[in-house]
Structure 1
C-alpha cells in the first residue's frame, strides 16, 4: 500500500512536470525521483539533511525556466542563470546573475570546485537560497551539485569580496560519507586515536594531502607527504576560495584544499582532517558538511604528565604547549565549532566512543550524545 501510494505521488508529479518541461527532460528527471536516499552537502556552509527529491518541493522547486542547456531560478530580486559557457573556461558550467533592481547582468565570483560542463541538467530551488543541480549522464557520485545563491555563507562572502558571489559544492550520499574533523591540544592523544581508526578500518578512512609553499625535505614526495606548490599559485587559489583552511607557519603557507578532500572521497574513503582549532574554525566557516570532534584531556595535570612522558620537548616547549592547550580547550568547548567533545580519560574507552559516534560499531552515525554529566566521556556541545 505504501509503495502504491508513493508511486501514485510520482505519477502525479510527472503529470504536473509535463507542463513545465520537455518530454526528454522528464525522462531524465523521473528515475531520479525514485532515489530515496538522503543527500548531504559535502562542503560550503552546513545545510543539514536534504531529501533527494522531496515531493513537497517538486511543484515549487521545479519552477525553474529551462532554455536550451540553461536553467534559471529567481532568488529574491535576482535571476540566476545556470549553464552555458563558464566565464573562465568552457569546460565548466557557467553562472550569471540578472539583477532586476538595476536591470544589469553580473558575472559573480565563483567559489568552490565547479561542476564540469554537461549536455544538460535540471534544477530544484531549495529554501529560497540554494539550487540543487542534477547533471544528465553523470556517474552517481557526480550527478548532484548544489549552488549557494543567498545563504548566510554567500552573504558573508559578498561583503568580503564587494561583489556578487556564488558557491558550488558536490552532493554526497549518506551521513557515513561525511568527512571527519578531529582537533585537540598537543599530547591529548588524537593522533593515536586516528591511527587506531586507520589500522582497524584501512579501506574506510584516508587523509587529505595538505599543500605547502616550503621546499621538500629529505625523502618527501610531492602528492604523498605534501602538495608542494609556488606561493603565488597557492595565494591565488586561496583568494579563489579553493582552500578550506590555511595558515602561515615560519614564513611558509600550509593549507587543506577542497580538491584534496574530494580526492579522498573519490577514492571511496572517508576523509579525516587532523587540524588545530583555528584550522577547524576555518573549515567550519567554509561550510564543509563534516563531523567536528574535539578531543579533551581529563585534566591539565594529566596532559602535562603525558607531554613530559614523551621526552621530546624542552621545558620551555612544554610550558608553551600547555599555555596553547588551555586556550585551545577553552575555544573547543565554547566556540560552537565542534559538535562533539570526547574526553580521553582512557584510550580504549575513548576509542570505543569515537567509533560509536562515527557509526562503526554497527549503529547509525550518532548526532546526539548524553549530557555533560555522563562520565565526561562524551557530550553534545551547546
Structure 2
C-alpha cells in the first residue's frame, strides 16, 4: 500500500516541468497534462481547464461539459485513475466541495467522437447512493398517468417528478420551477448542445425537455425520480448516461385502447384516430426496440399497479421513510490531501464534522456510481483520529 501524490493548492509538486500559476493545479494523464484553475474560458466565475499536449508541445482549450464548479479560494486535485480527477474545493459549502473532472470516461470518449474536439466533463460528488430513476412510457389512454398517481398517493415521500424545461411563456397561474422551468431559447439550446438534457423535443415551435439537473435534484431531495415521457424521449434517455429502470405500459388490445380514448370524451374523432395511429407505432417500438426493461399490460388497473410495485420492490410491507437527502462534507479552509489506495485522506487543522472533533477525514472512492453530466454518487466518508485507525469509522 503506497501513497500516491496529491496535487494541492498551497504546495504543488507536479514534476511535469510546468509551473501552474496562482491557484492552478495539474495532473498528468498519459501524454496530456490537465491544468485546472484560473478563469474559465467563458467566465471568470467558474474554474477553468486547459490541456498541455506533450506529444505536440501545444496547449488545447477543451470543450467543457456538465455543470462547472464555481471559482474558489483554491483547490486540491487528486488523480484517481486514468479517466478522472477528484477536485476538493477550498472554502466551499459542504454540499459543493467535492467535484470530479472526467478526462477519459466512457461519456467523455463518446462526446469527443461526436464533437470532434478535445472534451472534459464536470460532475459534482455526492455522499451515498440514490435509487434508480423510473422511466414510464406508453401510448395515450393506456393509464400510465393513473398508475403514477397511485404510486405518488401511496408513497408520497418516496417518489418525485422532475420539473421539465420549456421555452414557451408561462400560462395562467403557472410558476417557474414548479410547473416548468421557463427558459430563454438561446440558453436552452446551449444547454442542449452542452449535453445537459436527457431528452428534448420541439412542439408547436417551442422546446420542451428534461434536464439531467432536474432529475438529480429529485435524488438530492431523497426521493426517487419518475419520468413520464413518450417512447422517443425514452430512447434518448436510454442513450444517455442516466442509469434508470425503463417500463412500458401496454394496452391489452387496440380495441380496448380505442374504447378508453372514446370514453374520455375529451377529443374529436380526428384526434382519436391520430392518437390510435401514434399508439400503434409506439406499441411496436415499445415491444421491439430494446429500450424497455419491462412491459406491463394494463388490462386490469389494480393488477397492473401491483405488478408495477413488484418491479419497484414495493410489493412487501410499505417502507415508512424515504431515503434521507445526501449530506455534504464540512471542510475547514485549511487542509491538505493525500491518497492511499481507494481512499482520499484530508488532514484538517481543526474540524467540526457531525459534532465530532477529528484530525482526518477519509473519502472512500471505491464504490463511485454515475458521473458526468450528472452527479457522481457513492462517496463514503469516515472520520479518523490518525492514519492508524484503519479507515473503519464510518460516519452515518
TM-score (norm 1): 0.68
Encode CA deviations 1:217-270: one digit per residue, 9 max, x unaligned. 222222222222322232222223332221110111111223323333333333
- Aligned residues of 1:358 and 1:365 also touching (Cα < 8 A): no
8 A Cα contact 2:67 2:373, kept in partner: no
Q: CA distance change for structure 1 residues 235 and 54 in 2, over 3 Å: closer, same or farther?
A: closer
Q: Per the alignment, in what secondary structure is the counterpart of residue 295 of structure 1?
A: strand
The answer to whether the 8 A contact 1:176-1:358 is kept is: no
Q: Are residues 163 and 374 of structure 1, via their aligned partners in 2, closer, same or farther at CA, if it must alter by over 3 Å?
A: closer
- After superposition, the C-alpha distances for 1:135-191 in whole angstroms (9 at most, x for unaligned) are 567677545544332234323322333321222233455554332222221112111
Separation in 2, partners of 1:350, 1:192: 11
> Which moved further from structure 2: 269-278 or 71-80?
71-80
Secondary structure at the aligned position of 1:328 is classed as helix
TM-score of the two chains, using structure 2 as the length reference: 0.66
Corresponding residue pairs, total: 329
Partner of 1:356: 310
Quick check: 171-180 or 242-251, which moved more? 171-180
Distance 1:221 1:69, change over 3 A: same
| Deviation readout 1:320-364 (Å, 9 max, x if unpaired) | 222222222232233333333333233223222322333334599
The structure that has the greater radius of gyration is: 2
**Counterpart contact for 1:131–1:148, Cα < 8 Å:** yes
Q: Which has the higher helix share?
A: 1
Instruction: Give the RMSD, CA atoms, in angstroms.
Output: 7.5
Structure possessing the higher relative contact order (Cα contacts under 8 Å, 6 or more residues apart): 2
> 1:198 touches 1:205 (CA, 8 Å); kept in 2?
yes
What is the SS of the residue equivalent to 2:135? strand
Task: Indicate yes or no: 2:241 matched with 1:296.
Answer: no
Of 59-68 and 138-147, more deviation after overlay is shown by 59-68
Question: How far has the Cα of 1:201 moved from its partner?
Answer: 1.8
Q: Would the alpha carbon gap of residues 67 and 296 (structure 1) be closer, same or farther in structure 2, given more than 3 Å must change?
A: farther
How far did residue 79 of structure 1 move?
3.0
CA gap of 1:95–1:379, structure 2 versus 1, over 3 A, is closer
CA apart distance, 1:286: 3.1
- 1:70-93 CA-to-partner distances (Å, cap 9, x unmatched) read 554444433333444433334433
Instruction: Assess, with a 3 A threshold, how the Cα gap between structure 1 residues 228 and 83 changes in structure 2: closer, same or farther.
Output: same
Aligned to 1:165: 119
Deviations 1:273-325 (A, max 9, x none): 21112212222333123333222223333322322222222232222222222
Partner SS state of residue 175, structure 1? coil
CA contact (8 A) 1:120 1:136 kept: yes
1:72/1:81 contact within 8 Å kept: yes
